[in-house]
Amino acid sequence: MAGHTPGKQQATSSTALPDEAEARAALVLALRQRGVGARDVLAAIERVPRRLFLSARHHGLAYEDAVLPIECGQTVSAPSIVAFTVQALNLEAGHAVLEIGTGSGYQAAVLAHVAERVETLDRFATLTDLATRRFAALKLENVKAWQTDGFEGLKQKGLYDRIVVNAAVDAIPDVWVQQLKPGGYLIAPVGKANEVQSLIRFQKTENVMTAETLLTVRTVMLRPGIALKL
């Protein structure tokens, strides 16, 4: 899905207007009615202004439960998918999270309100730069965006309690398993391009990965390497 011209949107303010605060509250109510019960996740969704992660022409749709286009031809997930995914991670305050596929940075911002530390990776410099500015505007000091190959993870920051992947893969790379702490969860869409995929929660137990299918999704495939443009 095509996005708008990169670099036009800049994070400038995190202050919610009265109607925006009402829209956020309505979104949280809708998510609760759809089965999202984790209070910390709902509180994070309500605190993060999704508008800030979208181009101006999409601000009016910021609190709709819809996938929307962003820079570099990518998309931002629907809030319900973000909420269900973050809830399924079973995060605790002291957890370190690795997110693969920064996109707009919206999910990473939600994660930053629940986890102790978030490292988020994307192959596009434009996306990591914009996400960094948005995190700064929201004064989120426990989340950092990196431009790197998501298939390699980020081993220099140690092991992670949780790993979440926002694009589909055919199979889980061994390097991700190696960067996950014993007992930790890894959530990723698994399947083929242009087909319905399964969002699967893996748990690492003595170097064996158990798997549980959470729901079906349809998303782009994770691409290797670093984008030479954008």
Positions marked catalytic: 77
Helix (H, G, I), strand (E, B) or coil at 211: strand
The answer to whether 102 touches 205, Cβ cutoff 8 Å, is no
Helix (H, G, I), strand (E, B) or coil at 194: coil
Alpha helices in the chain (DSSP H): 18-33, 39-47, 79-88, 106-112, 125-137, 174-178
Residue 142 identity: N
| Residues contacting residue 65 through CB under 8 Å, at least 6 positions apart | 27, 30, 31, 78, 79, 80
Helix (H, G, I), strand (E, B) or coil at 12: coil
Q: Taking Cα atoms as reference points, which of 214, 217, 220 lies closest to residue 87?
A: 214
CA distance 34 to 180: 30
Residue 157 φ then ψ, to 5°: -100, 10
Residue 228 identity: L
Within 10 angstroms of residue 73's Cβ, the number of other Cβ atoms is 13
Residue position matching structure tokens 């609190």: 63
